[in-house]
Structure 1
Amino acid sequence: MQNQIHSFQNPKIKLLNQLKEKSRIRKKEKLFIIEGQREISLAIRGGYILKQVYYCSSILSFEEVSILINHHPEPVELFEITPEIYQKLAYRETTEGILATAILKDLDIKNFKLSSKIPLILVAEAPEKPGNIGALLRTADAAQLDAVFIANPKTDIYNPNIIRSSIGCLFTNNIATGSSLDIINFLRHQNINIYGAALQASVNYHTQDYTKPTAIVVGTEATGLSEDFLSHTTQNIKIPMNGIIDSMNVSVAAGILIFEAKRQRGFN
């Protein structure tokens, strides 16, 4: 069933604006916003439950919306909104005429279950910039990692800018969050080797064996890894660099390390 909304003062539109802007509202309502046809399709495939779909019929027809959500496991409320309302809600420069609200997933590491016996995991400690988080998730998707763990996240994982910068890879990865110590405890309990990207007591990254259960841990470009991780790594690893500076973008570094591990595993 679909309804029409013409007013900016409609309570649902007001809530959408709050979900878009405020992490505390997302946590309180246990909802977040997804914008874009690809992103909504990936969210459905990733097991997310949509609550409402809002579309602008001058951009996307009712029939196209129906096809897009055809594989959703339960009925979804549909709302047709005006172009003016849509433009106010949209946060992307390129428009696709559709937004949805979806239910937050429980991402707590304490409830996470690994399916692989020889997992390859990316751990990002204290990432703050949505663009970096999005790029890490895109890299993880490209490598088909078994999991991505975010330790001490400084940004709400369901921030619209993370969804946008990840081009929907927030929904294609197995993600868990927790404190650094919670994630370290999980990895150690699962007998997973921890390789920390750090200069202290490090060896060149390509000298290590990543064919066993492996977690590659990256920190922020500004401060690197915390002492919690540095004191629990199996081995610290570094990427040899010949330039004047001794750091690179965290997502670039993660990509180099991850795909060395994939190379050793025969890209399986």
Structure 2
Amino acid sequence: MTKQITSTQNTYIKQLAQLKDKSRERKKTGTFLIEGEREISLALKGNYDLETVLFYPDLFTKEQLNSLTTNVRLSAVGAQPNCIEISKEIYQKLAYRDTTEGVLAVAKSKNHTLTELEFKTKNPLILVAEAPEKPGNIGAILRTADAANADAVIIANPKTDLYNPNIIRSSVGCVFTNQIATGNTSEIIDFLKAKNINIYCAALQASVNYHTQNFSKPTAIVVGTEATGLSDEWLKNSTQNIIIPMQGEIDSMNVSVAAGILIFEAKRQREFK
């Protein structure tokens, strides 16, 4: 039976608003909000458990709701979620995007430790980003990794939690389709070396043109922020520092663009090896 909530002053709705706005609340409860049918469907494909689905019936019909919750059953990720019909005012309070789809879900967070990573092949291709600050850049990196079918994305020294609604939005749900781990720089370097994965750091210092390197073996491509680049620890432990030749007036480009160029060169080499 579908429950109804119409008041924005409802205690549960106030809790969900906190979940949307505060990283601390997401970490404390181990849950987060997902907005949009596509994003919820991708979360189900990524084996995320849904606790609750909330829908505004003028935008998201009960037929659509039934189809979505059928996917929950088929995905076998857990028990059926609670379904709650909400008012327009509640939806506007909880929705993050300007575009309206009329459906949200409360999902359980996953662990993103290095020990959770399981590579699909013996020749993994990994994208590492050190201390990315802007959720939009993180989302774009995750989209790039998904497009390249990278084995994993590792975030070193993260500045924001992965379930920030802006990361979910800017990644168009690819936060759910990638294998993602987080850790500090030292832990990640130790992890990569223990698995005999070559480390290629995008940097200006002691670098060679990226296309001169062989990325067909187990490879981690490491990118830093535009403002500060990579920390010395990465540069000291890299197999080789690499650079994208710049022909204009500036010496850097957006981190997600650089990541895309480098990882697709690795893909090209692997396909035509």
- Fold shared by both chains (TM-score > 0.5): yes
SS in 2 for 1:122: strand
Structure 2 unpaired stretches of 5+: none
Where does residue 10 of structure 2 map in the other structure? 10
Structure 1 residue 63 corresponds to structure 2 residue 66: no
State which of 231, 236, 243 in structure 2 corresponds to 1:238: 243
d(CA) in 2 for partners of 1:113 and 1:262? 20
> Could you tell me which amino acid in structure 2 is paired with residue 88 of structure 1?
K
Where does residue 163 of structure 1 map in the other structure? 168
Question: Compared with structure 1, are the counterparts of its residues 224 and 103 closer, same or farther at alpha carbon in structure 2 (3 Å cutoff)?
Answer: same
SS in 1 for 2:264: helix
d(CA) in 2 for partners of 1:113 and 1:82? 42
Q: Does structure 2 conserve the Cα–Cα contact (< 8 Å) formed by 1:126 and 1:220?
A: yes
Matches within 5 A, 1:125-164: 125-164=130-169
SS in 2 for 1:63: helix
SS in 1 for 2:70: coil
d(CA) in 2 for partners of 1:139 and 1:97? 28
Matches within 5 A, 1:216-227: 216-227=221-232
SS in 2 for 1:69: helix
> Could you tell me which amino acid in structure 2 is paired with residue 141 of structure 1?
D
Matches within 5 A, 1:65-214: 65-72=65-72, 73=76, 74-214=79-219
Identity %: 65
TM-score, normalised to structure 1, is 0.98
Q: Kindly state the Cα deviation for residue 267 of structure 1 after the two structures are TM-superposed.
A: 7.3
d(CA) in 2 for partners of 1:162 and 1:104? 14
Query: Which stretches of structure 1, 4 residues or more, deviate above 2 A after TM superposition?
Result: 110-115
Q: Does structure 2 conserve the Cα–Cα contact (< 8 Å) formed by 1:121 and 1:215?
A: yes
Q: Deviations over 1:38-80 (max 9, x none)?
A: 0000000001000001000011111211101212122110000
State which of 220, 226, 232 in structure 2 corresponds to 1:215: 220
SS in 1 for 2:247: coil
Q: Kindly state the Cα deviation for residue 206 of structure 1 after the two structures are TM-superposed.
A: 0.1
Q: Does structure 2 conserve the Cα–Cα contact (< 8 Å) formed by 1:41 and 1:69?
A: no
d(CA) in 2 for partners of 1:242 and 1:145? 28
Where does residue 34 of structure 2 map in the other structure? 34
Q: Kindly state the Cα deviation for residue 182 of structure 1 after the two structures are TM-superposed.
A: 0.9
Where does residue 53 of structure 2 map in the other structure? 53
d(CA) in 2 for partners of 1:208 and 1:82? 56
Q: Deviations over 1:168-220 (max 9, x none)?
A: 00011010111111111110000000000001110000000000000000000
Q: Does structure 2 conserve the Cα–Cα contact (< 8 Å) formed by 1:20 and 1:32?
A: yes
Q: Kindly state the Cα deviation for residue 105 of structure 1 after the two structures are TM-superposed.
A: 0.1
Q: Kindly state the Cα deviation for residue 111 of structure 1 after the two structures are TM-superposed.
A: 3.1
Q: Deviations over 1:76-95 (max 9, x none)?
A: 10000001110111111111
Q: Does structure 2 conserve the Cα–Cα contact (< 8 Å) formed by 1:110 and 1:182?
A: no
Q: Does structure 1 conserve the Cα–Cα contact (< 8 Å) formed by 2:69 and 2:80?
A: no
RMSD: 1.1
Deviates more, 1:198-207 or 1:1-10: 1-10
d(CA) in 2 for partners of 1:104 and 1:81? 23
d(CA) in 2 for partners of 1:227 and 1:18? 38
Structure 1 unpaired stretches of 5+: none
SS in 2 for 1:71: helix
